């Protein structure tokens, strides 16, 4: 009897051990979302002024998607689309919350040729977003940093599938944090954020987010986790640590960047366009020391979090994804960065507004230092993460996303299919309402104010300087029809002509 009991206990122990081992083998997920960070702002894409050793290291350890895109040229729609697996045109949130035209009176609206469609100001609770899908499968779920997927506090991360919400907040300013009253500013404590208790006076926000992420990693046990680390950086206000700013001022001087006029007199490719709203200047050189310092702190904390995973022995069993919500700010609000060789920046449907650093690392599947040149987009993360984690897909939820696992496994014959954009708004950056499609090497942009189109071959013309719409009318017509059919299928809402428009 005693022997039988011992045997039974031994078998139970083996089963428990096997179960624990299986649980440990389920991969963790770290999703890093950066704010307003441009494709050209990173070292591995050629920046000589900014320093991003840790993002560069992450790129060398995983797969770089050279044609990786945000679903929108602006914050909120990208964030909602990544989490839902649905394009902005389908989920309805097509502008930053609450939007550039929101709350304007008739006189203020009269300078716009078009009036944007109304949109929801909160990501619906009915959406089963990525953390909820992970939680259904035994994951702990953590949100750290910027949210900007809702205006109402009843739609914040803790009500959208996250066990822990640190910092996720919108009230106070467009980047989700209030400026200190008489203090150093939004990036320094006191933060006055109900979901991020103030640290010591002067504590730096980006460091604090790194600290919180590391604490959660250190406290993790056998249960796998999904961590969404959304830096407020590098969104305005451009505020950085003084010692880092001084370092980059000296670097700019040494590189003689301070001798270069940083802005164009006007946007040469834009000032003669019939569809312009205003004249804008564009930054033409990366030389802003404070912006460089803001990037450096963000990169530094990415490195600290990656090191924490390694120290805990989790690095080989963690899927790490990195994306920015839109391109670098180059044509407004101080224009702290330059996206060259890409055209324009945040708010625009040109490459500078939507092409992003786009990385995936998972040592068990992805070859270190691998590169994919196929066009992909942020809605693809949802099914990709689920498939990599061995979890059931949710095709009724991530209806627009396509799993990138074939690419990650080295299949270069896989065709992800065309990708689309719908931005029926003015973003305050000189941009105007429009839509776009990319299929293969070609990209077509439709401008809603006058319905004219532009066509570019991005393989030979990454800067979008040579409009091929007149030279290749058959290609333009085909892509335009596909774009219109897609909008119809998504139920996309269109802007309307403003009857009170005054030139």
**pLDDT averaged over consecutive 10-residue blocks of the chain (503 residues)?**
39 40 75 98 98 98 98 98 98 95 91 95 97 98 97 95 92 46 69 91 96 97 96 95 98 95 66 47 92 98 98 97 98 93 96 98 98 98 98 98 98 94 94 97 97 98 97 98 98 96 87
Contacts of 327 (CB under 8 A, 6+ apart): 36, 38, 39, 70, 73, 339, 342, 344, 345, 346, 348, 351, 352, 353, 354, 355, 356
Closest residue by Cα to residue 230 from 142, 121, 156: 142
C-alpha torsion angle, residues 64, 70, 76, 82 (rounded to 10): -60
Count of residues for the chain? Answer: 503
* DSSP-assigned beta bridge partners for residue 193: 196
Contacts of 375 (CB under 8 A, 6+ apart): 67, 69, 416, 419, 438, 440
The distance of Cα 434 from the centroid of its chain, to the nearest Å, equals: 20
Torsion 232-235-237-243 (CA) sign? positive
Q: The tokens of 164 are what?
A: 């822990």
pLDDT at 181: 38
Q: pTM of this prediction?
A: 0.92
Cα(155)–Cα(174) distance, integer angstroms: 17
CB 274 within 8 A of CB 287: no
pLDDT at 24: 52
Q: The tokens of 106 are what?
A: 């008739």
DSSP output for 451-503: --EEEEETTT-TT--S--TTT-HHHHHHHHHHHHHHHHHHT----EE-TT---
Domains in the chain (CATH in brackets) are 26-413 (3.40.720.10)
* DSSP-assigned beta bridge partners for residue 114: 497
Cα(428)–Cα(76) distance, integer angstroms: 15
Q: The tokens of 48 are what?
A: 């000589």
CB 208 within 8 A of CB 196: yes
CB 415 within 8 A of CB 335: no
Kind plus residue range of the DSSP H or E element containing 321: strand 318-324
What value, to the nearest 5°, has the Cα angle with vertex 126 and ends 486 and 195?
115
Strands 28-34 and 442-447: unpaired
Cα(268)–Cα(11) distance, integer angstroms: 75
Residue 434: what are its φ and ψ, rounded to 5°? -170, 180
Prior bond to 171 cis, omega within 30?
A: no
> What's the Cα-to-Cα distance from 129 to each of 69, 98, 321, rounded to whole Å?
20, 21, 16
Residue 192: what are its φ and ψ, rounded to 5°? 55, 45
- CB neighbour class for 196 (10 Å; exposed up to 12, middle 13-18, buried from 19): buried
CB 89 within 8 A of CB 422: yes
Prior bond to 341 cis, omega within 30?
A: yes
Residue 307: what are its φ and ψ, rounded to 5°? -65, -35
How many CB atoms lie under 10 A from the CB of residue 180?
Answer: 18
The distance of Cα 499 from the centroid of its chain, to the nearest Å, equals: 35
pLDDT at 251: 98
């Amino acid at each position: 009897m005693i022997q039988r009991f011992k045997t039974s206990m031994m078998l139970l122990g083996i089963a428990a051990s096997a179960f624990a081992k299986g649980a440990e083998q389920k991969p963790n997920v770290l999703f890093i979302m950066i704010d307003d960070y441009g494709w050209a702002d990173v070292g591995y894409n050629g920046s000589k002024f900014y320093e991003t050793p840790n993002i560069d290291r992450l790129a060398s350890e995983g797969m770089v998607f050279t044609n990786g895109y945000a679903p929108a040229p602006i914050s909120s729609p990208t964030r909602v689309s990544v989490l839902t697996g649905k394009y902005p045109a389908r989920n309805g949130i097509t502008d930053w919350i609450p939007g550039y035209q929101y709350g304007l009176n008739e006189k203020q609206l009269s300078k716009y040729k078009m009036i944007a469609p109304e949109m929801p100001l909160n990501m619906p609770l009915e959406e089963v977003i990525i953390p909820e899908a992970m939680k259904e499968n035994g994951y702990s779920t953590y949100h750290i940093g910027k949210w900007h997927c809702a205006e109402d506090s009843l739609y914040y991360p803790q009500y959208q599938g996250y066990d822990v919400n640190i910092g996720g907040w919108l009230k106070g300013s467009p980047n989700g944090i209030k400026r200190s009253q008489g203090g150093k500013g939004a990036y320094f404590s006191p933060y006055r954020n109900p979901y991020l208790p103030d640290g010591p006076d002067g504590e730096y926000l980006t460091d604090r987010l790194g600290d919180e992420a590391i604490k959660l990693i250190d406290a993790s046990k056998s249960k796998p986790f999904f961590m969404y680390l959304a830096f407020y950086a590098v969104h305005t206000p451009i505020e950085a640590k003084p010692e880092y700013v001084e370092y980059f001022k000296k670097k700019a001087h040494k590189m003689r960047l301070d001798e270069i006029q940083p802005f164009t007199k006007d946007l040469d490719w834009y000032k003669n366009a019939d569809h312009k709203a205003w004249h804008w200047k564009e930054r033409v050189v990366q030389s802003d020391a404070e912006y460089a310092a803001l990037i450096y702190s963000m990169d530094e904390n990415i490195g600290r979090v990656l090191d924490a995973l390694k120290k805990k022995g989790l690095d080989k069993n963690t899927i790490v994804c990195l994306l920015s919500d839109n391109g670098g700010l180059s044509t407004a609000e101080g224009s702290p960065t330059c996206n060259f060789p890409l055209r324009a920046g945040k708010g625009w449907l040109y490459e500078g507004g939507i092409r992003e650093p786009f990385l995936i690392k998972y040592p068990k599947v992805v070859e270190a230092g691998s590169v994919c040149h196929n066009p992909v987009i942020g809605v693809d993360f949802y099914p990709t993460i689920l498939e990599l984690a061995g979890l059931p897909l949710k095709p009724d939820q991530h209806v627009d996303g396509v799993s990138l696992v074939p690419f990650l496994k080295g299949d270069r014959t896989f065709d992800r299919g065309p990708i689309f954009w719908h931005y029926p708004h003015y973003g305050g950056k000189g941009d105007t309402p429009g839509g776009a499609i990319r299929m293969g090497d070609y990209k077509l942009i439709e401008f809603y104010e006058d319905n004219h189109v532009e066509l570019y071959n991005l393989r030979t013309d990454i800067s979008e300087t040579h409009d091929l719409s007149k030279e290749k009318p058959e290609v333009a017509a085909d892509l335009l029809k596909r774009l219109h059919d897609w909008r119809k299928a998504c139920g996309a809402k269109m802007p309307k002509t403003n009857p009170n428009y005054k030139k």
